[in-house]
Amino acid sequence: MDLSWMAWTQPTASFFLVIAGLIAALSLWEYLSPGGGPRVGVLRFETTRGDRLFISLLGSAFICLAWLGFGAGNLWWGVVICCIYAVLVFLLV
């Protein structure tokens, strides 16, 4: 299958593999422990594990865009901030 029209580079493939891996891990987690115990966090509305994953992915996208937009340097530091943000979302939201 020729996917050259999609400009598959190493970072692009890694990005999609990480997202697919996160969804697979969350699916396995849900299979092993159904329900996930919805809870009310600092946002004051009920969230499930899937909601928290979505919030962390969406927020991480904005963090990386801001990192690139402000020219803050190497994007890997932005990714580190995204990982910290995701952990905080899963703990507090």
Instruction: Tell me which residue of 28, 13, 9, 23 sits closest to 57, measured CA to CA.
Output: 23
**Is the pLDDT assigned to residue 36 strictly greater than 80?**
no
48 CB-side CA count, 13 A: 9
Crossing angle of helices 49-69 and 75-92, rounded to 10°: 150
> To the nearest whole number, what is the mean pLDDT of the chain?
87
pLDDT digits (tens, 9 = 90+) for 70-79: 987 888 898 8
Dist CA 52 CA 58 (whole Å) = 10
Instruction: Tell me which residue of 85, 93, 80 sits closest to 59, measured CA to CA.
Output: 85
**Is the pLDDT assigned to residue 17 strictly greater than 80?**
yes
